[in-house]
């Protein structure tokens, strides 16, 4: 793990609007969060400058101190980026009156919910005690926010779990209209901030502003060829911008307004840059490995230099500088790269530096880097160094958001609604009480739950009275939300293969007053054999957790390529089982939501695409979540389903939420012609997975599967049976079992 990752964990920044960008930034040094389009209206947002007195709640007092040190350090360096991470600098609290007014103002439209049921009834007390036991020291292999728990009586912990909301999707206010942004105190606040920034830039109220080069060095400063090109490129960009807005250029600023490139080069250079004689100065190599040649151009370290650097010990400031140089070059490779150097050489150096600076293993650093333009990737890595804001979900089975907000405000909590997109979410900025141990928490009035974790439940949109399966549900953040959305009607099967984790799952279900939930402990791949025919299925899949690195830094180093392969294999099996557990003739549903708290394409689009190919009766449909980025339709050499854009991705650096992926699938009845190839696939999948994962003894008898009417994906013909039997034997043999003939071994966790 790199030094940086060991160093500090700064305080959570407020939720921030998406800094969506259509193109990579020219430079990572100046990054300003901009919002655009629908995302601007709906993204999670930060407090305005005007009320920037809040500080996102941090339950660890040490964190604050460390954070200040870090901010100072970053400021003193070149500041890799700060756009998406801008935090309110001021501190302080609202007065009680202000807080109350705010809480009342934001929530008058809140969904009906079931009202306040009072504190937990006597028979829930035991469950509450169990729950706390379960929450302490909870393992979180899935790395979902719902799993990162720490609620304790000391109050220093925050449990991240899932969310609920009541009512249907419409009641959740998912349809955002363009004029809504002003209504939301958070959205509006951020927009104001951005607008004022824009206004600064465009000052002059329509009058032609003189062409100004940004941040020019003092006259006489020596500029390298690369720097000169950069300034010229920037000047050209500004010129084009001004012209496109109908401005004419001042002749003082530039002779020959439409001059050739060459002209501009020299004119801008003469006028503003005053290239001076090269002088001997501190640019000279000091052995710091962020070297420049005698023209000041950055040069990549040689192998020997890298070795020497490793031997000497990494200087983080040097590494940071070098990352910025490389990112800069990669963002305008044609103009800025040195002759003879390839893009991959720069990328390779960047990967090494990311590993050294942030503490990732090379495999993961490279995979994550591939997701974004280089400058944006650094923003992502930076965002992973900061905690996400604390958010809670109102349990509408027990209370209303406005009442909850009021109660918490009375306890000294500073909070605000999460945003228009959720009627049950609250963002906690400051709290003088442990937010995971208030009376309201104990009484199940809310769940500590990361904002991203709301999304799959909103997407699944279960209806009252339906049969729903949550295939991997512990510790229950999402399943308790589903239960509330269904207003405690119908039935929700809350499954998890990890028996230990079902303890906290049950405890949360009791605490939240969910009476329509059945807890079960099967390997998800045992569905639909165990039970099928669901109106909707949620698969919040076990994953690598690359979206929640800020909560679990061990993810940076604990996943190898092989681990990822095994994981994606499991995910592919699970998604097929989820699909096959759906009642394709459901009158009200027929949906699967697949989600992960990983941002890796292999665990996200690739898994969904695989399922779509294997199940021709399934198609992608809109998630109903209006913000976030679209899923990748293509990624590197891979081409995915043309509708993959309907899937959603959110990132820490764009929305200040955990990285998350979700896709919604509609499962239709299969045509007879679609049945054949599936049997073989399914059988192979199940056997192979048992090999790959080792922890599950899984072998499904084709004759038993498909016990749920049209879920009969295991229907087979003679040829299939033969193949299945063979494969079963092969798998068992590999696992050291004596191959059984025609016998089904019961999966782990499945009661025979
Ligand atoms: C991302 S977490 C689920 C979080 C949960 N949905 C929530 O909101 O609280 C993934 C879960 O999958 C479970 N899991 C792992 N492998 C599984 C399998 N083969 N079948 C079912 N559950 C599995 C893990 O025990 C873990 O609890």
Q: pLDDT digits over 264-299, tens only?
A: 333 333 333 333 333 333 333 344 445 565 555 778
Tell me the Ramachandran region of residue 141: left when phi exceeds 0, alpha when psi lies from -120 to 50, beta otherwise: alpha
- 194 or 510: which leads in pLDDT: 510
Atom of ligand 1 nearest to the CA of 696: 19
- The yes-or-no answer on residue 577 being catalytic is no
Atom 25 of ligand 1, nearest CA residue: 498
Atom of ligand 1 nearest to the CA of 162: 8
Q: Which helix (H) or strand (E) holds 231?
A: helix 225-244
> In the chain, pLDDT over 70 holds for what percent of residues?
50
**Least reliable range by pLDDT among 90-94, 306-310, 443-447, 631-635:** 90-94
pLDDT in the model for residue 528: 98
Atom of ligand 1 nearest to the CA of 596: 1
pLDDT reading at 656 higher than 60: yes
Choose the residue to mutate in 391, 473, 700 for probing ligand 1, maximizing ligand atoms within 8 Å of C-beta: 473
Mean pLDDT of the chain, nearest integer: 67
Query: How much is the average pLDDT of 583-598?
Result: 98
- State how far the Cα of 746 lies from the Cα of 526, in Å rounded to an integer: 9
pLDDT in the model for residue 338: 79
Atom 27 of ligand 1, nearest CA residue: 474
- 517 or 749: which leads in pLDDT: 517
Choose the residue to mutate in 498, 523, 544, 700 for probing ligand 1, maximizing ligand atoms within 8 Å of C-beta: 498
- 315 or 13: which leads in pLDDT: 315
Query: How much is the average pLDDT of 60-82?
Result: 33
pLDDT reading at 608 higher than 50: yes
Question: Tokens representing 160?
Answer: 């991240």
Q: Beta strand pairing status for 467-470 and 413-419?
A: unpaired
**Least reliable range by pLDDT among 72-81, 310-319, 541-550:** 72-81
Q: Measure 476 CA to ligand 1 centroid, in angstroms.
A: 10
Q: Among residues 5, 13, 3, which one has the least CA distance to residue 556?
A: 5
Length of the chain: 752
- 658 or 26: which leads in pLDDT: 658
Question: Tokens representing 253?
Answer: 């600023």
Query: How much is the average pLDDT of 384-393?
Result: 97
Query: How much is the average pLDDT of 233-257?
Result: 51
Catalytic residue (choose from 457, 514, 543, 597): 597
pLDDT reading at 52 higher than 80: no
- 613 or 145: which leads in pLDDT: 613
Query: How much is the average pLDDT of 154-162?
Result: 30
Q: Measure 523 CA to ligand 1 centroid, in angstroms.
A: 9
Q: How confident is the model at residue 222 (pLDDT cuts 50, 70, 90)?
A: low
User: CB-side exposure of 506: number of CA atoms within 13 Å?
Assistant: 18
Q: Measure 164 CA to ligand 1 centroid, in angstroms.
A: 18
Helices H / strands E in the chain, number of each: 24, 15
Atom 15 of ligand 1, nearest CA residue: 542
pLDDT in the model for residue 251: 39
Question: Tokens representing 683?
Answer: 């059988």
Choose the residue to mutate in 165, 472, 479 for probing ligand 1, maximizing ligand atoms within 8 Å of C-beta: 472
pLDDT in the model for residue 342: 87
Q: How confident is the model at residue 25 (pLDDT cuts 50, 70, 90)?
A: very low
Atom 5 of ligand 1, nearest CA residue: 473
Q: Return the top range by mean pLDDT from 223-237, 255-269, 317-331, 565-579.
A: 565-579
Question: Tokens representing 472?
Answer: 């991997």
Query: How much is the average pLDDT of 468-474?
Result: 98
pLDDT in the model for residue 553: 97
- 307 or 420: which leads in pLDDT: 420
Atom 2 of ligand 1, nearest CA residue: 142
Q: How confident is the model at residue 305 (pLDDT cuts 50, 70, 90)?
A: confident
Q: Measure 727 CA to ligand 1 centroid, in angstroms.
A: 27
C-alpha angle with apex 597: 593 to 602, nearest 5 degrees? 80
Atom 6 of ligand 1, nearest CA residue: 473
φ and ψ at residue 634, rounded to 5 degrees? -145, 145
If you ran DSSP here, which 8-state letter would residue 207 be given?
Answer: S
pLDDT in the model for residue 231: 59
- State how far the Cα of 623 lies from the Cα of 642, in Å rounded to an integer: 16
Whole-number CA gyration radius for the chain: 28
- State how far the Cα of 265 lies from the Cα of 617, in Å rounded to an integer: 59
pLDDT in the model for residue 641: 98
Query: How much is the average pLDDT of 381-409?
Result: 98
Query: How much is the average pLDDT of 38-54?
Result: 34
Q: Among residues 606, 601, 579, 599, which one has the least CA distance to residue 590?
A: 579
pLDDT in the model for residue 334: 82
258 SS3 class: coil
- 518 or 86: which leads in pLDDT: 518
pLDDT in the model for residue 443: 98
- 616 or 691: which leads in pLDDT: 616
**Could you tell me the domains of the chain?**
303-385 (no CATH), 389-449 (3.30.70.1170), 452-667 (3.40.50.150)
- 677 or 128: which leads in pLDDT: 677
Q: Measure 474 CA to ligand 1 centroid, in angstroms.
A: 6
- ipTM rounded to 2 decimals: 1.00
Q: Measure 192 CA to ligand 1 centroid, in angstroms.
A: 40
Alpha-carbon torsion (330, 334, 340, 342), positive or negative = positive
pTM exceeds cut of 0.80:
no
**Least reliable range by pLDDT among 273-287, 309-323, 471-485, 630-644:** 273-287
Residue numbers belonging to the annotated binding site for S-adenosyl-L-methionine: 472-478, 496, 523, 540
Q: Among residues 369, 315, 380, which one has the least CA distance to residue 344?
A: 369
Question: Tokens representing 129?
Answer: 């005690």
Q: Which residues have CB under 6 Å of ligand 1?
A: 141-142, 144, 146-147, 161-162, 453, 471-478, 496-498, 501, 523-525, 540, 542
Residue numbers belonging to the annotated binding site: 472-478, 496, 523, 540
């Amino acid at each position: 793990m790199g030094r940086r990752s060991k160093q500090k964990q700064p305080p959570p920044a407020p939720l921030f609007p998406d800094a969506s960008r259509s193109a990579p930034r020219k430079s990572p040094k100046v990054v300003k969060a901009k919002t655009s389009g629908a995302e601007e209206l709906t993204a999670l947002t930060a407090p305005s400058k005007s009320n920037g007195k809040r500080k996102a709640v941090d339950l660890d007092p040490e964190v604050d101190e460390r954070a200040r040190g870090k901010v100072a350090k970053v400021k003193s360096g070149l500041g890799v980026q700060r756009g998406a991470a801008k935090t309110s600098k001021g501190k302080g609290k609202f007065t009680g009156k202000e807080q109350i007014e705010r809480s009342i103002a934001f929530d008058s439209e809140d969904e009906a919910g079931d009202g306040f049921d009072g504190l937990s009834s006597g028979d829930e007390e035991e469950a509450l005690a169990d729950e706390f036991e379960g929450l302490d020291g909870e393992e979180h292999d899935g790395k979902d926010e719902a799993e990162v728990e720490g609620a304790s009586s000391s109050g220093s912990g925050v449990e991240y779990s899932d969310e609920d909301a009541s009512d249907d999707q419409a009641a959740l206010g998912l349809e955002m209209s363009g004029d809504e942004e002003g209504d939301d105190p958070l959205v509006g606040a951020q927009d104001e901030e951005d607008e004022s920034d824009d206004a600064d830039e465009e000052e002059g109220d329509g009058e032609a502003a003189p062409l100004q080069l940004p941040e020019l060095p003092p006259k006489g400063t020596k500029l390298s060829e690369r720097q000169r090109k950069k300034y010229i490129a920037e000047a050209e960009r500004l010129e084009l911008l001004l012209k496109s807005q109908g401005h004419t250029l001042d002749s003082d600023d530039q002779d020959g307004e439409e001059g050739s490139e060459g002209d501009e080069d020299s004119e801008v250079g003469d006028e503003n840059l005053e290239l001076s004689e090269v002088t001997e100065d501190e640019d000279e190599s000091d052995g710091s490995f962020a070297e420049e040649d005698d023209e000041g151009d950055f040069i990549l370290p040689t192998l020997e230099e890298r070795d020497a650097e490793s031997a000497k010990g990494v200087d983080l400031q040097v590494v940071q500088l070098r990352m910025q140089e490389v990112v800069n070059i990669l963002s305008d490779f044609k103009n800025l790269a040195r002759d003879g150097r390839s893009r991959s050489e720069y990328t390779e150096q960047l990967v090494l530096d990311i590993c050294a600076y942030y503490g990732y293993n090379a495999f993961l650093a490279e995979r994550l880097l591939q997701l974004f333009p280089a400058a944006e990737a650094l923003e992502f890595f930076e965002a992973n160094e900061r905690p996400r804001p604390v958010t809670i979900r109102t349990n509408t089975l027990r209370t209303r958001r406005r009442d909850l907000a009021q109660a918490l405000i009375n306890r000294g909590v500073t909070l605000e609604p999460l945003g228009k997109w959720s009627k049950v979410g609250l963002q906690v900025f400051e709290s003088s009480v442990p937010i995971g141990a208030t009376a309201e928490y104990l009484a199940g009035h809310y769940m500590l739950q990361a904002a991203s974790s709301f999304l799959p439940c909103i997407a699944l949109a279960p209806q009252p009275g339906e049969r729903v399966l949550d295939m991997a549900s512990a510790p229950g953040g999402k399943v308790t939300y589903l239960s509330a959305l269904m207003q405690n009607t119908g039935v929700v099967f809350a499954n998890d293969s990890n028996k230990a984790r079902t303890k906290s799952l049950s405890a949360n279900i009791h605490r939240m007053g969910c009476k329509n939930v059945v807890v079960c402990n099967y390997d998800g791949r045992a569905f639909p054999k165990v039970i099928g025919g669901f109106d909707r299925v949620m698969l919040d899949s076990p994953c690598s957790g690359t979206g929640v690195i800020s909560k679990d830094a061990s993810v940076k180093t604990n996943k190898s390529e092989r681990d990822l392969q095994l994981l994606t294999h499991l995910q592919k099996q699970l998604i097929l089982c989820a699909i096959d557990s759906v009642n394709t003739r459901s009158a009200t549903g027929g949906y699967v939501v697949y989600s992960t708290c990983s941002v890796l394409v292999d665990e996200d689009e690739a898994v969904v695409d695989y399922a779509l190919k294997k199940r021709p009766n399934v198609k992608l449909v809109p998630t109903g979540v209006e913000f976030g980025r679209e899923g990748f339709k293509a990624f590197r050499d891979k081409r995915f389903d043309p509708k993959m854009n309907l899937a959603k991705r959110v990132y820490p650096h764009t929305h200040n939420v955990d990285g998350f992926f979700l896709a919604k699938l509609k499962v239709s009845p299969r045509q007879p012609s679609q049945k054949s190839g599936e049997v073989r696939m399914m059988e192979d999948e199940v056997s192979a997975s048992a090999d790959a994962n080792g922890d599950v003894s899984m072998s499904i008898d084709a004759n038993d599967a498909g016990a749920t009417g049209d879920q009969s994906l295991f229907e087979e013909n003679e040829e299939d049976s033969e193949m299945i039997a063979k494969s079963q034997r092969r798998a068992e043999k590999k696992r050291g079992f004596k191959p059984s003939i025609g016998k089904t071994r019961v999966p782990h966790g499945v009661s025979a």
